[in-house]
Amino acid sequence: MPRKGKGPKGKRNGGRDDPAWSRTDVIEREHMHNDRLEKYYKAQNILPEQEWDQFLEAMRDPLPTTFRVAGSRQAARVLNDIIKDVHVPHLAGVVFEGEALSPPQQIPWYPDGLAWQFNVAKKVLRKSPEMKKFHSFLVFETEVGNISRQEAVSMLPPLFLEVEPHHRVMDMCAAPGSKTAQLLEALHAHDTLTSSSLPSGLLIANDSDYKRTHLLIHQAARLPSPALMVTNLDASIFPAIKIPSGQTAFAAGTKARVAAKKQYQLLFDRILCDVPCSGDGTLRKNPGIWKHWSPMDGNGLHSLQLRILQRAMRMLKKGGRIVYSTCSINPVENEAVVAAALKSIPGFELVDMSNHLPGLIYRPGLTAWRPTVTREINTEFATYEEYVQSLDESERAGSKMLESHWPPSPGEAESIGLTRCLRIYPHLQDTGGFFVAILQKKQPVRPPAASTKRTADAAEGLDRADVKKPKLDTQEDDKEPEVEQPDDADEELPEEPEETSMEVDQPVSTNTALPAEPKIRFKKGKTAEGASAHFKENPYTFIEPDDLIVTACVENFDLSANFPGGNMLVRNPAGDTVRSLYMVNDIVKSIVQHNDFARIRLMTCGTKVFGKQEGAEAKRDGVDSHFRVLAEGLPVVLPFVGPRAVAHADFAALRILMEGYYPLTSGFAEPFRSMIDAKANGSYVVRFQPGQLGDATLAHELVLPIWKSNVSVTLMLDKRAKSALSLRIFGEDITSAARDAAAKKQKGESEATPGAAVVDAPVPVLEDDNADVLDSPTATGAAEEE
């Protein structure tokens, strides 16, 4: 991921907070040159000479619009069919200002054809009626999480991880969250069209930037999951997550209090390291980089990138997999980091996944490169030793160059297998530049079983110090029998003293003059970023299954006996059910209960499932419990909802609910009218059956929440979700909010220019996955405290 600019509040001329960085009109094509960039990359021999001009021309072209269909596999395929069978034929043959426009095309290497690409300028999207309608469809579906606006190469790392629902997964540098969403979808691979599975796995999405974690939470909320946790920590010093001993088997006869003392470090099956980088692979969408690119950006980030990868390697299970990726094409940030990490921590190997995505065109990783030691591109030193010898004794201590900036020897590069890395260049498939490396922790080779008994002759040869002393009776209770753990067992943690220290792997270097990086220390209840840091978020508190609110929800929604009532939590220290009830799976519950929320800087976890129905309407209705099932949590709760809380309706009833805010029950046809009239006031789930209504078709069952009042019914969806649903099913926005907005706009324009023609309301521009700022209180505001 591109890094943010340095300085106060992350601001710096030319950084990502600089408006020139992300605008496409700040530099003309003829000015898209940077002598240092071209000189540096030519010196690295990243491409054959005959491809160089083609590569540079591609870097100057605007990046095409790409998106992928998100959500569970079944739901994604249904929406993908709508795009393929309805929108693409409608856009075929469209002409704008005398030029034929190409309809969206499927990205050839993405599984199941769920990713799309099209080259259309923003001017066309705003003025072509056909393209405008399609763009409106994309925007609304993006708002509700069914489509992810994501650069094509950004979709690669999660695909190489091959996440399964039982995996424990970590996304170490997760914001803004598009890759996190892909990982969540993989965890929820068993979801259906209407209900969510309860995966046994886990996804911890972490980012060191506090504000960007809110953008991450906003993105992840589009696919609510009880298996998600979001943390706000420096990935390079991510603390050990503790899990209880109950997750590990003990030998028969182990004392209960001995077992209770045991704490184990949570190890991960899959870790994504999409690390901060210089971002020169994003030149096509961030043309400001042409003006400000410097090779020293990559040199400066190398050490941080290495520490993040090393920390990931320490947290991985045997047989687990790490994907290391950057949107940079600089070998110092890519192959150099991978090589140094593999040399510093044994037991890992690069995995050859060249055939994993048929249709993906790439180049193999580099085995040789020459880092520059100055901003003016000085690449004359073939080895680190040559560079050090060129410095005066007084200069060596101040040098920021490390041995790991340089490539390993040819023999080491071959044994490491650096050519198994994947390099993506813009001219190959009309994408951005990208780098991916897949690392795997080797399974240990078990030696053949052998007798552990010593012969008398062997015992005679032992020194007195080697002979075990007899065990005293007073030690017996505290001594735990040795237990052979399986290869994938979590690692045992030592008993935590009042102050513990976390070791940070040092970059590989023979430059002993470099100052050693200090150990990061933290005390209990403090954060890993320092004892002075103040964590402002409220903790999550589990409530008892017999809590009055939980039992009322169980009764009102006829929840089955296997509903995980013990996995419900609230967000306040006292455990009061104030506004919302969250639900998590078992592994998330275990982590929350056995780790200090401030130490791991827990921003959010699980998903909201029930919310308090506030306002005069709920009080007037006089329901016993003012809690309703939330639309975002309905897929999670639905498998447990019993028949008493479910109503059945036809397609016509859905249209009535979409068109009005509070349609009267008397306006519905039978049998829905009598059925809903007979129910008490409160929250219910409605199953809408497939059907045909005029030109509109509901191809599959749709399940939505409603609130039943004395004489009316309300569809409990927000305005954007209603509009997206309407566009998907009816081909137009028939909602009350859309009519009100059109009427308001028409009135305003009529008053301004009487008799003037009314134009359609503008559709917001579809943002991409690397947007740093989302002008929405949902994304940028403080975390909701409940």
Which are the catalytic amino acids?
Answer: 327
Could you list the beta-strand ranges (E) of 25-114: 65-69, 95-96, 99-100, 105-106
The answer to the question of whether 173 is labelled as a binding residue is yes
DSSP 613: -
Distances in Å between the alpha carbon of 94 and those of 105, 133, 774? 15, 13, 32
Q: Rounded CA gap, 346 and 348, in Å?
A: 6
Q: Rounded CA gap, 683 and 714, in Å?
A: 10
Nearest to 277 by CA among 300, 293, 301: 301
Distances in Å between the alpha carbon of 412 and those of 322, 368, 416, 418? 21, 11, 6, 9
Distances in Å between the alpha carbon of 253 and those of 77, 245, 478? 53, 15, 12
Q: Of how many residues is the chain composed?
A: 786
Q: Rounded CA gap, 431 and 424, in Å?
A: 8
Nearest to 117 by CA among 79, 85, 69, 82: 69
Tokens 């997964």 correspond to 169
> Is 712 exposed, middle or buried (CB count within 10 Å of its CB: 0-12, 13-18, 19+)?
middle
The answer to the question of whether 176 is labelled as a binding residue is yes
The answer to the question of whether 660 is labelled as a binding residue is no
Distance from the first to the final alpha carbon of the chain: 32
What Rg value do the Cα atoms of the chain yield, rounded?
A: 29
Other beta carbons within 10 angstroms of residue 49's beta carbon come to 8
Q: Is 694 left (phi over 0), alpha (psi -120 to 50) or beta?
A: left
One-letter identity of residue 270: R
Q: Rounded CA gap, 149 and 171, in Å?
A: 19
Cβ proximity of 20 and 288 under 8 Å: yes
> What tokens were used for 193?
């069209």
> Is 440 exposed, middle or buried (CB count within 10 Å of its CB: 0-12, 13-18, 19+)?
middle
The answer to the question of whether 207 is labelled as a binding residue is yes
Residues 6+ apart with CB under 8 A from 404: 302, 306, 336, 337, 339, 340, 507, 508, 509
Cβ proximity of 496 and 594 under 8 Å: no
Q: Rounded CA gap, 767 and 774, in Å?
A: 8
Q: Rounded CA gap, 375 and 388, in Å?
A: 17
Q: Rounded CA gap, 72 and 679, in Å?
A: 33
Residues 6+ apart with CB under 8 A from 223: 70, 71, 145, 181, 184, 185, 188
Cis previous bond, 448, omega within 30: no
Could you list the beta-strand ranges (E) of 145-214: 147-149, 168-171, 202-206
The answer to the question of whether 179 is labelled as a binding residue is yes
| Cross-strand bridge partners of residue 417 | none
Distances in Å between the alpha carbon of 107 and those of 152, 329, 609? 8, 22, 35
The answer to the question of whether 174 is labelled as a binding residue is yes
Q: Rounded CA gap, 158 and 325, in Å?
A: 10
Nearest to 128 by CA among 149, 85, 97: 97
Cβ proximity of 369 and 335 under 8 Å: yes
The answer to the question of whether 178 is labelled as a binding residue is yes
Q: Is 516 left (phi over 0), alpha (psi -120 to 50) or beta?
A: beta
Can you say which residues are annotated as belonging to the binding site for S-adenosyl-L-methionine? 173-179, 207, 234, 274
Can you say which residues are annotated as belonging to the binding site? 173-179, 207, 234, 274
